[in-house]
Chains A and B, each alone.
Chain A
Amino acid sequence: MALRGAIVVDTEKCKGCSVCVVNCPTNTIALSKEVNSKGYNYAYMASPENCTGCTNCATVCPDTCITVYRVKV
């Protein structure tokens, strides 16, 4: 059994602080080259196939802009 996960980032709320990026144990997240309306490079799943839905990113996100989904496959 393996875990597959995915995150959804509220890109307008994200301030691009990178705290989720360094806390992701599977290197799933990176900052986008695109910016939101405030000019922040928001977080996104750069390697979605790596995500296990561990919720570490959402737990440390200071702006609580990450929602996490997980399935057992």
Chain B
Amino acid sequence: MHTTMDIKDIIKPENKVYSKTPVLLDNVMHYCPGCSHGTAHKLVAEVIEEMGIQENTIGVSPVGCSVFAYNYVDIDWQQAAHGRAPALATATKRLYPDKYVFTYQGDGDLASIGTAEIMHACNRGENIVVIFINNAIYGMTGGQMAPTTLMGMKTATSPYGRREDLHGKPLRITDLISQLEGTCYVTRQSVQNAAGARKTKRAIRKGFENSAKKKGTSFIEIVSSCNSGWKMSPVKANEWMVENMFPSYPLGDLKDI
């Protein structure tokens, strides 16, 4: 009885320490349970709220599961053809230089069909932020192998595992991008635990601040899980990610100038 009384005393408006940011709409996300996209969307929305830039931010959503990002984050959006988000973001930023412009892309979008666009946008040093969700698979279309798929990893199109002689080795596109002179900040983060999510949020904020300072392109990779594509439970997928993805895609800043 004592405990019940306590809970009522705790749950009062003045004691609230965390609630959904108003930048995030009330729509129920279409993502699978435990999907990293939801957490990443929330962190972007929280940064936009904290910086007070809701009216001045334009996002470009990709092709992939996160194509519907515009249903969840209450800002202006465009939706690009597959892989072409950096090209649209370039045009948007040049037409509206005072706006905050970012792309939100998966690994199938950014590291495969959109490789040319991302490389050249980063090389030109467009003052945009790129949020790159790397879950080593094509989630939306049914779990096909992506350029980022790990060696030996089984997918719908590599049922016996990825092989070097047949498929080549995983593409560490973030490492390539850190070599380009147009980028000012290149980092690799994750959102499977609270510490990781808080670090990722700081990285996203830094990216937006860099674009205000016209420092060049900020590139934030979020190593993510796709539990449906990987055919695991959400918790198991996160554990698998820590064990197998992190050695290939180590977390931390690759570049910060």
Assembled-state Cα–Cα distance A58/B17 (Å): 10
Asked if B10 is at the interface of the complex by the 8 Å CB criterion, the answer is yes
Is A67 within 8 A of B33, CB to CB?
Answer: no
Is B16 within 8 A of A67, CB to CB?
Answer: yes
B208 to chain A, nearest CB (A): 19
Interface residues on A, range: 35 or more
Asked if B146 is at the interface of the complex by the 8 Å CB criterion, the answer is no
Given contacts A18-B34, A53-B17, whether A63 and B28 have CB atoms under 8 Å apart is yes
Given contacts A18-B234, A68-B18, whether A62 and B38 have CB atoms under 8 Å apart is yes
Of the candidates B19, B21, B194, B234, the one whose C-beta lies within 8 Å of that of A17 is B234
Asked if A46 is at the interface of the complex by the 8 Å CB criterion, the answer is no
Of the candidates B17, B29, B193, B198, the one whose C-beta lies within 8 Å of that of A70 is B17
Of the candidates A13, A19, A49, A64, the one whose C-beta lies within 8 Å of that of B235 is A19
Q: Which residues of A contact B36 (CB under 8 A)?
A: 62
Asked if B164 is at the interface of the complex by the 8 Å CB criterion, the answer is no
Closest B-chain residue to A66, C-beta based? B18
Q: Which residues of B contact A48 (CB under 8 A)?
A: 3, 6-7
Assembled-state Cα–Cα distance A17/B31 (Å): 11
Is A13 within 8 A of B28, CB to CB?
Answer: yes
Closest B-chain residue to A57, C-beta based? B194
Asked if B220 is at the interface of the complex by the 8 Å CB criterion, the answer is no
Interface residues on B, range: 35 or more
Assembled-state Cα–Cα distance A53/B20 (Å): 15
Encode B68-93 as 1/0 by CB contact (under 8 A) with A. 00000000000000000000000000
Assembled-state Cα–Cα distance A60/B38 (Å): 9
Assembled-state Cα–Cα distance A69/B9 (Å): 10
Is A63 within 8 A of B29, CB to CB?
Answer: yes
Is B28 within 8 A of A68, CB to CB?
Answer: no
Is A4 within 8 A of B6, CB to CB?
Answer: yes
Of the candidates A54, A60, A69, the one whose C-beta lies within 8 Å of that of B11 is A69
Is B194 within 8 A of A59, CB to CB?
Answer: yes
Interface residues of A (CB under 8 A from B): 4-6, 8, 12-13, 15-19, 21-23, 40, 45, 48-49, 53-56, 58-71
Interface residues of B (CB under 8 A from A): 3, 6-7, 9-12, 15-21, 24, 28-29, 31-39, 42, 191-194, 197-198, 233-235, 238
